[in-house]
């Protein structure tokens, strides 16, 4: 068990990559705070984690809202006394061509994907122990362009830049700040029922398969654990080789 007696918080943990990360951390003996806007699905994940025999706290939270983020971190402090690992996972990726993106669309994507990282990281640092780890779920869209995702690409590129600066600021507390940049991962949010599109996507991936939430969770467990104790300010790409060509 790599994370026994550690406490982690995962945002957007009701489904997809966030759920996979929360379960993987729990399997390593970690107590977990799970949060999401989807309260009903969060309850199911809470039950799954309880079955693994670790402590779990579920808190409904929209990560773009400061009062809700403050409440989530205050509840974490009340229940567990502190925090070792923060995983900023919650994110949205609504496809829209650049000329059709409204100011509201832009603000929403930047709030959920970027402002949330500021809000959650700043408040968490108040209760984080020395030697902690902050892990942000970025995207390969921070490194290469994708049609109809200009606002999303901008938000994830900014996350990569932000973690390098934050890593410098908190290094004296031995807190490490890194990001994982997933490629194409099969999740409820990314699901496309069109088999042809799926085949086309797989044809672009050297390892010839879509990624699973567990593929991202493995990198997150590594970055959360002492196995990565000399790694900070880095973006680890987990994409089956997509961005190699």
- Count the helices and strands in the chain (H runs, E runs): 8, 7
Closest CB to ligand NAD among residues 30, 63: 63
Count of residues of this chain found to bind ligand NAD when the rule CB under 6 A is applied: 29
Complex with ligand NAD: residue 72 or 83, whichever CB lies closer: 72
What is the C-alpha separation between 207 and 34, in angstroms, rounded? 31
Judged by CB under 6 A, which stretch of 35-43, 79-87, 99-107, 219-227 contacts ligand NAD? Answer: 35-43
3-state percent helix, strand, coil for the chain, nearest multiple of 5: 50, 20, 35
Q: Does 225 bind ligand NAD (CB under 6 A)?
A: no
Choose the catalytic residue: 85, 152, 219, 224: 152
Structure tokens at 175: 């807190």
Out of 30, 90, 153, 237, point to the residue binding ligand NAD (CB under 6 A). 90
Active site residue 152: yes
Residue nearer to ligand NAD on the CB measure, 26 or 61: 61
User: What are the residues whose beta carbons fall under 8 Å from the beta carbon of 128, sequence distance 6 or more?
Assistant: 82, 83, 84, 86, 173, 175
Does position 29 interact with ligand NAD (CB under 6 A)? The reply is no
Q: Which DSSP letter does residue 115 get?
A: I
Residues 6+ apart with CB under 8 A from 44: 14
Which positions touch ligand NAD (CB under 6 A)? Answer: 11-12, 14-18, 36-38, 61-64, 89-93, 112, 137, 139, 182, 184-185, 187-190
Active site residues: 152
């Amino acid at each position: 068990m790599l994370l026994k007696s550690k406490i982690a918080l995962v945002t957007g943990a009701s489904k997809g990559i966030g759920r996979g990360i929360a379960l993987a951390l729990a399997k390593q003996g970690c107590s977990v705070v799970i949060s999401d806007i989807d309260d009903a699905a969060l309850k199911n994940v809470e039950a799954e984690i309880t079955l693994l025999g670790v402590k779990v706290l579920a808190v409904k939270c929209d990560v773009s809202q400061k009062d809700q983020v403050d409440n989530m971190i205050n509840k974490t402090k009340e229940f567990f006394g502190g925090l070792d690992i923060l995983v900023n996972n919650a994110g949205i990726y609504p496809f829209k061509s650049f000329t059709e993106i409204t100011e509201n669309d832009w603000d929403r994507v930047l709030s959920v994907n970027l402002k949330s990282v500021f809000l959650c990281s700043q408040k968490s640092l108040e209760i984080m122990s020395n030697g902690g780890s902050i892990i942000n779920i970025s995207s390969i869209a921070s490194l290469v362009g994708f049609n109809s995702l200009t606002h999303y690409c901008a938000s994830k590129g900014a996350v990569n830049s932000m973690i390098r600066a934050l890593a410098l600021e908190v290094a004296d507390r031995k807190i490490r700040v890194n990001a994982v940049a997933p490629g194409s991962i099969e999740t409820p949010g990314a699901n496309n029922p069109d088999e042809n599109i799926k085949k086309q996507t797989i044809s672009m991936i050297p390892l010839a398969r879509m990624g699973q939430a567990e593929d991202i969770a493995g990198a997150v467990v590594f970055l959360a654990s002492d196995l990565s104790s000399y790694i900070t300010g880095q973006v680890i790409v987990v994409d089956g080789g997509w961005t190699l060509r």
